[in-house]
Structure 1
Amino acid sequence: MLKIEQLYKTYIRAKEFNALDNINLDIESGEFIAIIGKSGSGKSTLLNIISGILTPTSGKIFLDNQEISSLSDDEKSFIRNDSMGFVPQSTVVLSTLNVLDNICLPFFLSKREGDPIGRGKYLLNELGLEHLESSYPRELSGGELRRVTIARALMNYPKIILADEPTSDLDVENTKEVLGILKEINKKNNTTIILVTHDLTCLDYADKVYTMISGKLVEGKSI
């Protein structure tokens, strides 16, 4: 489903260094992958390149046998909106929109047919947020905001969810709740999930675990 071949991302500061160093990865449809590693190891860079937000220095990424790493920015944006859901590290929502409107927002970023309000209300119910439909972000707890970002990521029926440290600012109870929601989505919808984290609690929910060390990716828990 997702194939990464010889992926590099090189930066130059005082000297040249590889934020990603020859990454090779095959992910099957419906897998739940956890990538652990210390801050600065390259985890978020990898997610941003998979999503098309960043461009690799070299290497290829294939989604359903289509090379997406060589597409134009507009083409990458369409695939990101149509086939991927992103759960960011911080709960980025629009303060001027209520919960339902925040969840429905991705629907309107590309021309498509459907019922965004019906879909949004369905997701509200699925994630236990139906009573917060008309509330605004400032009125929500951290755990509720994270569920809103997950619902928003699901709006366009994504094939893949990319989750960047989704439990980093949550307490133990909310961490278990968010991870349980992601696992349920993974199993119920056969949605592929790639989660990067430094929280070892997340490993119990993953089918496979990888470790990122100074831009290199190795299979298994190595920290």
Structure 2
Amino acid sequence: MRNADDTAFQLDAEEPLPTELLQYIRERVGGALTTALESGGNNGFDDTCPEAVAISQALQSSNPSAVAGLLNDASLMFQTNLGDLYPEDGALIRLQAAAFSGAEEICDTDDLARKRCLRAAQLYVRQNPEPIDQQELEEFTDVVAEEAIGEAAEIIRADGRAVASGKRVGRFVRARFANYSTTIVEWIDKTKKGAARIEWLWKMARKLLDAFQDPPEGGPPL
């Protein structure tokens, strides 16, 4: 914000992110970034790519709007570049989900960050996402939930059913479902438990992330 008394542009003063949330985001998103960068160049992704730069900058800040905005920017860039500039690589899909989820965690608790991310999302020219079949999404939900226990399994099933219903659900719920799902799919991929279905699982995870972006004009508020 800038007014007549300012000598330079500056961000509105904001309380820093709570330590616990900041630590979670740095571990979750930072870990996903490290994994993507350590893939040996097979995905065409390195630390000079714009998504990596945005995420690295986010992880060095504690300002809610800055962290959420940069993570949101990275998620939107992945939305355009995955499958085009980069292959639909599992590590990159997980990184996009982590960035998306991290931004939503902040937006769920910080109104100013939420409004700024919404304005950025409205500038994004959305590609037509591939539709998700309700029955297929329910099947995906069951497969993912089987690899979780306790409260995590209950959350995955509830979130997955809500998304599959076709009704509008909160962005936090969408982000959480994408976050949990891609984490589990990556684990299934690494352990080779679902080798015969891994391509389908990653395809479904990618569909989720593609469908979760709000339209650029006239979209509902975050």
Normalized per residue, the structure richer in helix is 2
What's the TM-score, normalizing by structure 2?
Answer: 0.31
